[in-house]
Amino acid sequence: MNPDMVVHYGVDALKMVLLLSMPMLLVALVVGVLISLFQAVTQIQEMTLTFVPKIIAVFLVLVLAAGWMIEKMVSYTQHIFNSIPSLLN
């Protein structure tokens, strides 16, 4: 196993982490911006108003995307396990 292969598998792992975390991060960003806009318009500065909707939205997206995320993780793990014989050469 040469350094290029290590870098390749490291980059693939980082891509997978970004791909799997992207739905939750995007929803948290959008909800956070909408709540901030609502707070700026109404001048309500309640701290729980920013956290509770984001937590609920991220949880809902996690529940809805769980099947897709598991499918991606299993596919990636199978790919890694199937490439083990080529790593030994």
- Would you tell me how many other CB atoms lie within 10 Å of the CB of residue 84? 8
Q: What is the pTM of this model?
A: 0.80
What is residue 47's predicted lDDT score, i.e. its pLDDT? 79
Q: Are the C-beta atoms of residues 2 and 84 closer than 8 Å to each other?
A: no
What's the mean pLDDT when you consider all of the chain? 92
The per-residue pLDDT for 16 is 97
In the predicted model, is pLDDT for residue 19 greater than 90? Answer: yes
**Boundaries of domain holding 9:** 3-87
Total domain count for the chain? 1
DSSP assignment string, 15-78: HHHHHHHHHHHHHHHHHHHHHHHHHHHHT---THHHHHHHHHHHHHHHHHHHHHHHHHHHHHHH
In one letter, which amino acid is 18? L
Q: Which helix (H) or strand (E) holds 9?
A: helix 3-42
